[in-house]
């Protein structure tokens, strides 16, 4: 059974760079799957950030596209999110997720809270 | 429209049936997937595709779609079903998109 675990700094300064990693266990990141990031500001709903395919192809939410980069590290069986020029509005719980059949997010990490504050 | 619209809150008496809806033009083309989220927990997939349940999801959860509206139905709601429910699909450009979520209260 595939499991996901997010990691990264819990605090980022305004105008800085948010960098998170999602470690994949119980399966290979090189399998034919999309791997995605979703975030949730405190007390608000879910927002899709983007996704990366095992080939390295990526798709991003148009509202975040200019600031987001996603990548894979097959040697470490993990994928990453980089979000630049962050503001307080980027404060959220960030989840990584595996995309399965019919494009469903079938496995989720536990989530990690990232606060943007000086 | 590139939005998915959900009612912010719905309530149901325990043991009764409740339908949670998700509206959007893209639902005429794409299936919706449904997620349950309890406080301080990650979302859990409950319905995907036409009407498929992942292993471990009770059969009281079902999905359907008609025109621009997708529905999640809970037949015989239980106390443990109280949660936030989110639909997800794609917008007109093919990008993934979540609805605003529905808070379900089981009375």
Contact B99 A48 (CB under 8 A): no
With CB atoms and an 8 Å threshold, state whether A102 touches B33.
Answer: yes
Verify whether the Cβ–Cβ distance A100 to B97 is below 8 Å.
no
Mean pLDDT in residue range B14-27: 96
Helix (H, G, I), strand (E, B) or coil at B42: coil
Q: What pLDDT, in 10s, does the model give residues A46-83?
A: 999 999 998 889 999 999 999 999 999 999 999 999 99
Q: In the prediction, which pLDDT does B2 show?
A: 66
């Amino acid at each position: 059974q595939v499991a996901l675990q997010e990691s990264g700094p819990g605090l980022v300064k305004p105008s800085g760079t948010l960098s998170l990693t999602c470690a994949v266990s119980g399966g290979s990141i090189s399998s034919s799957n999309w791997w995605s990031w979703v975030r949730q500001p405190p007390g608000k709903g879910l927002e899709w950030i983007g996704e990366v395919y095992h080939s390295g192809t990526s798709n991003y939410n148009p509202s975040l596209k200019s600031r987001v980069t996603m990548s894979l590290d097959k040697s470490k069986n993990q994928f990453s999110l980089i979000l630049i020029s962050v503001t307080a509005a980027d404060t959220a719980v960030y989840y990584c997720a595996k995309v399965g059949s019919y494009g469903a997010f079938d496995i989720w990490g536990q989530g990690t809270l990232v606060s943007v504050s000086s | 429209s590139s939005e998915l619209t959900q009612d912010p809150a719905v309530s149901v008496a325990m043991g009764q049936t409740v339908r949670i809806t998700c509206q959007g033009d893209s639902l005429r083309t794409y299936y919706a997937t449904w997620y349950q989220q309890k406080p301080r927990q990650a979302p859990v997939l409950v319905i995907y595709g036409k009407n498929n349940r992942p292993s471990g999801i009770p059969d009281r959860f079902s999905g359907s779609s008609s025109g621009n509206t997708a529905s999640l139905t809970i037949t015989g709601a239980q106390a443990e079903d109280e949660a936030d429910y989110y639909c997800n699909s794609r917008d007109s450009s093919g990008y993934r998109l979540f609805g605003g979520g529905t808070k379900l209260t089981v009375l």
